[in-house]
Amino acid sequence: MIGSLGVQGQQLVYSAQQAMQSGRLDEAARLWAQVLATAPEHSQALFHLGQHKLMQKDIASALSLLERAARADPNAPAIALNIAFAHRAAGNTAAELAALDRALAIDPYFLPALLSKGAALERGGLSKQAAQIYRNALSVAPADHLLSPELRTSLAHAGAAVAQNAEHLDRHLGAKLAALRARYADLSLDRFEECKEVILGRKKVYVQQPSMLHFPRLPAIQFYDRAEFAWLPLLEAATNDIRQEFLAIYGEDNRDFVPYVNHPEGAPTQQWTELNRSPRWSVYFLWKDGQKLNTACHRCPKTAAAAETVPMIDIPNFAPTVMFSTLAPHTRIPPHSSVTNVRLVVHLPLIVPNGCGFRVGNDVREWREGKAWVFDDTMEHEAWNDSDRLRVILMIDIWNPYLNKAERELVSALLNGLREYNQDDRGWH
């Protein structure tokens, strides 16, 4: 004997499953009926026979079989979902919603039930409630290539419904907030605008994700306000000189430009597989890991002088890094985050063809030649060059301005203490 069905019953189940997979649905139904004759409360047989009756539009028989299946297996969300389908076919929206709630009580992330509940609410004229359910569905949906065509179509509809609801809500809030916005028209309201966009579901909240050192209680700011860095105009004024020095060294011999991503053999490359050891994202260092490279700075004296007007981070053996960063045409730097939030990164764009862009968190911007910005690279960011020309940026590491002098010195000692400990592998002593 194999289980309660015995060998013959198990063979019937297998044959029924094979018939279903081959699309022989009537044959499968006949086989499931034989299983049911042997085991009247076999949940799988009840479920598939109920589905078959539903396809035949025999709603009463389908409901009877599906309810029996639910009693036999109360923890199967797919059974409750099909009960909802039967109630929908019967035109009983209240019972349909109740069955969908049963399915979601079993599995709150059951995507077909979420989409079906959104559709039921939408049919009932409850578009705002439907949009909330659709929004939940979109948040748990797997990658598009993992979905059936039917689910892709349903999700596309859900996205359109969520977007439409956001537009209506935005107009409502616009009218509600108009007087206050006018009152504070002379103030920067960027943070509030981001807050509103998050409420509308148009922007996602990103957090700092440093891979090496997280310093607590530093603000998670994607792009910093220029007003915090009085030295930015002086750096920007040197743009033409810096660009000319880049063009000279790149034209002389760009063999000194090295791939920025350089994982050793056997190391996991994750999102960096395409760019690992690739010249498509190449850099030329003027400072690296806290050390000034005299030969490079001698070749680019005006660039080095301009960098030294910036309050560069100073952690021996670690930072600053100052470099020319080149991105080849039709190349994308994938989403990633960096090592520590004690530093920020300055970008001074030198050569920016049309079709280039940069995203930090939920803020997408375009570089403008000679216009620098400061950002937190421990927040997820990515860059792209969709043009046919090279893109070039000067990058400089600076201290996070929210660290005081003592914290900076302690962080430097901490990181070097960690480095010394890991280099000396003679055991604990």
What are the tens digits of pLDDT across the range 78-136? 999 999 999 999 999 999 999 999 999 999 999 999 999 999 999 999 999 999 999 99
- Provide the mean pLDDT of the chain: 93
Looking at the chain, the whole-number percentage of residues with pLDDT higher than 90 is: 81
346 confidence band (pLDDT: 50, 70, 90): very high
Pick from 260-269, 381-390, 408-417: least confident: 260-269
1 confidence band (pLDDT: 50, 70, 90): very low
Is residue 1, in this structure, part of any structural domain at all? Answer: no
Residue with tokens 């764009």: 349
pLDDT (average), residues 240-254: 91
Let me know whether 346 and 246 are in one domain: yes
pLDDT (average), residues 257-277: 87
Give me the pLDDT at residue 16, please: 82
Let me know whether 117 and 262 are in one domain: no
2 confidence band (pLDDT: 50, 70, 90): very low
Give me the pLDDT at residue 15, please: 87
CB 67: neighbour CB atoms within 10 A? Answer: 17
Is residue 374, in this structure, part of any structural domain at all? Answer: yes
Last residue within a domain, chosen from 114, 142, 164: 164
Is residue 64, in this structure, part of any structural domain at all? Answer: yes
pLDDT (average), residues 277-301: 96
Let me know whether 244 and 113 are in one domain: no
Pick from 83-87, 264-268, 357-361: least confident: 264-268
Is residue 364, in this structure, part of any structural domain at all? Answer: yes
Give me the pLDDT at residue 426, please: 64
Residues 321 and 393: beta-carbon distance below 8 Å: no
CA angle 374, 379, 381 (to 5 degrees): 80
Give me the pLDDT at residue 411, please: 96
Pick from 215-224, 309-318, 396-405, 418-427: least confident: 418-427
Give me the pLDDT at residue 32, please: 87
Per-residue pLDDT for 3 more than 60?
no
Is residue 204, in this structure, part of any structural domain at all? Answer: no
Q: What is the CA radius of gyration of the chain?
A: 31
Per-residue pLDDT for 356 more than 70?
yes
Give me the pLDDT at residue 423, please: 86
Let me know whether 148 and 246 are in one domain: no
pLDDT (average), residues 195-203: 92
Give me the pLDDT at residue 175, please: 94
Instruction: Work out how many domains the chain is built from and give that number.
Output: 2
Let me know whether 258 and 407 are in one domain: yes
Let me know whether 280 and 383 are in one domain: yes
Give me the pLDDT at residue 292, please: 97
Give me the pLDDT at residue 36, please: 87
35 confidence band (pLDDT: 50, 70, 90): confident
Is residue 174, in this structure, part of any structural domain at all? Answer: no
Which domain CATH number covers 48? 1.25.40.10
219 confidence band (pLDDT: 50, 70, 90): very high
Q: What is the DSSP string of 28-81?
A: HHHHHHHHHHH-TT-HHHHHHHHHHHHHTT-HHHHHHHHHHHHHH-TT-HHHHH
Let me know whether 148 and 231 are in one domain: no
Give me the pLDDT at residue 427, please: 58
Give me the pLDDT at residue 76, please: 95
Is residue 11, in this structure, part of any structural domain at all? Answer: yes
Q: List pLDDT tens digits, range 364-374.
A: 999 999 999 99
Give me the pLDDT at residue 379, please: 97
Give me the pLDDT at residue 264, please: 84
Which domain CATH number covers 328? 2.60.120.330
Q: Which residues of 49-63 are buried (b: 16+ CB within 10 A; e: fewer)?
A: bbbbbbeeebbebbb
Per-residue pLDDT for 425 more than 80?
no
Give me the pLDDT at residue 47, please: 93
Owning domain of residue 233: 226-421
Per-residue pLDDT for 181 more than 70?
yes
Let me know whether 395 and 249 are in one domain: yes
Last residue within a domain, chosen from 145, 164, 183: 164
Let me know whether 43 and 127 are in one domain: yes
304 confidence band (pLDDT: 50, 70, 90): very high
Give me the pLDDT at residue 285, please: 97
Let me know whether 233 and 351 are in one domain: yes
pTM, two decimals, is 0.82
3-state secondary structure of 394: strand
Nearest to 376 by CA among 355, 359, 394, 353: 359
Is residue 218, in this structure, part of any structural domain at all? Answer: no
4 confidence band (pLDDT: 50, 70, 90): low
Let me know whether 141 and 251 are in one domain: no
Let me know whether 33 and 134 are in one domain: yes
Last residue within a domain, chosen from 164, 182, 210: 164
Residues 151 and 115: beta-carbon distance below 8 Å: yes
